[in-house]
Amino acid sequence: MRGLKFDFNNLFDFAVGKEHGVTASELKEFSPAAIRAHRHLEDILRRPESRLGLGLEWTRLASQPEQLIEAIQRLGREISKKYENVIFLGIGGSYLGLKAAQDALLPPYYNDFAKLRRGRPRIYFEGNNLDPDTLSALLPNLAPKKTFVVVISKSGETTETKAAFSIVENWLKKGAGKNYGRQVFAITDPGKGTLRKRVSYEQSKDPLSFRSLPLLPGVGGRFSEFNMGLLHLAITGIDIKEIFRGARVMAGRCSVSEVEKNPAYLYSLLHNILYLKKDKSIAVLMPFSETLRSTADWYVQLLAESLGKKYGRKISKSGAALEIWENDPARVVNVGRTPVASRGTGDLHSIQQNNVEGENSKVLTFIRVEKFRHDITVTGTKDFLTGKKYSRLMGLAEEATEWALVREARPNCAIIMPEVSAYTWGQLLYFFEMATAFEGELLDVNAFDQPGVEGYKNYMYYKLAKPGMPENVIQTIQGSPLVKKARFIL
């Protein structure tokens, strides 16, 4: 089965000029950093303790035991046969990864037509926002006894998911009766957190209530689709083994030490050079496939949380020679490219105007699909469109977009997918994950934490009078209040 291909031509000076493209001398200049980055990653990945401690255990998720996968698939079939609806509650990777898989690998309009679902339940996503209108519209239109709920939260304390679960649980309790807990499934930390405590309590009363799967140690949320997303894949009938097969193939390609033969390394290195030497700070991901639109949304979280960092990384060694990574307050770097999710061809009639003629601060990555699941031939126009296949028009639109950008010296590259399948999608996710990890090495930041996310959470917890907040956090918030001047509110 064919794998992904990567076309980096339009990132080089011979395509877009020396001012905006990477030159051979710049590749040579950055090659020592790339070699160091590879050796460092290689050393971490070969040590289980390092992978776990630093957050790189995601590199091993595609090699989980077949018995586990088969057990999850059996569980998914059980749920899909018994229930008409499944609500997934989660935010960040616990939502974006699932939504990306659903849109890429299930038919468009899956929820709308029973024929497309083939006996599988409708899937709904909540707990990913605090907009009261969505849950208010969803729950009154579902039957509680025919609805299964999966809540995904490592701690059980994430505000959006916790609030949604409280509403949904109360709705289930009222509508499904005293055994409603048998319609609840938790994916959470294996040993700690309020959700894990709740699981243990409910299971002590009824082993069929609040069943659970663990969020594995050493796997951050945005890297965890191949962990926390497995039950969703099983319920919807997506082939987990094929996804894992694709991911393993890509892992092999992305372990090669030579940068020019390693797609993830070369992608990261070229973008890093364009960022640091050519001021290309905006990363636009534009798949030319409507089914990959949510995958672009997933990528936004991956890149933004991983590489958007205030502090450089300080590495020290523990007694066992294992590394400890800390943010170094002495090195304020404020780095990280800004990701933008887009899609062709719809956004060629919006953001593309800025891409071509606006500030030359972007690098575009296209995803081109060579074969769609279905194709349509245009009929009845009696002009140049008659007899043309949609797939031909889509491919030509991507090619034309490259041409228009190159003509204006705008760097871009393309990922070529033979088709959108479980196998190729598994490759795509692993490629982006490894490319992001490698770029973190090049920038010398911790790509596996997200301290900037805590600011809004702490402010909300303070305003909501959450017990147990650290005193230093309270003092920080009290000492820097928001200033709102009436004359600037019109």
Q: Active-site residue numbers? A: 305, 349, 457
**Which helix or strand (DSSP H or E) is residue 38 part of?**
helix 24-45
Task: Please give the angle made by the CA atoms of 400, 402 and 408, to the nearest 5 degrees.
Answer: 105
192 Rama sector, left if φ>0, alpha if ψ -120 to 50, beta otherwise: beta
177 Rama sector, left if φ>0, alpha if ψ -120 to 50, beta otherwise: left
Burial class (CB in 10 A: 0-12, 13-18, 19+), 173: middle
Q: Is the dihedral of CA 250, 252, 255, 259 positive or negative?
A: negative
Which residues are registered as beta bridge partners of 119? none
283 Rama sector, left if φ>0, alpha if ψ -120 to 50, beta otherwise: beta
Distance CA 237, CA 120 (A): 8
Q: Are 184 and 89 in contact (CB under 8 A)?
A: no
Distance CA 364, CA 332 (A): 28
Residue 258 DSSP SS3: coil
Verify cis geometry, omega within 30 degrees of 0, for the bond prior to 381: no
Q: Which two tokens stand for residue 125?
A: 């996503």
φ/ψ of 412, rounded to 5, equals: -160, 165
Q: Are 128 and 95 in contact (CB under 8 A)?
A: yes
Q: Are 92 and 409 in contact (CB under 8 A)?
A: no
Q: Which two tokens stand for residue 413?
A: 């590259």
- For the residues of 403-458, what is the DSSP string, one character each? HHHHHTT--EEEEEEEE-SHHHHHHHHHHHHHHHHHHHHHHTS-TT--GGGHHHHH
Distance CA 3, CA 5 (A): 7
Residue 366 DSSP SS3: strand
Residue 200 DSSP SS3: helix
Distance CA 401, CA 389 (A): 18
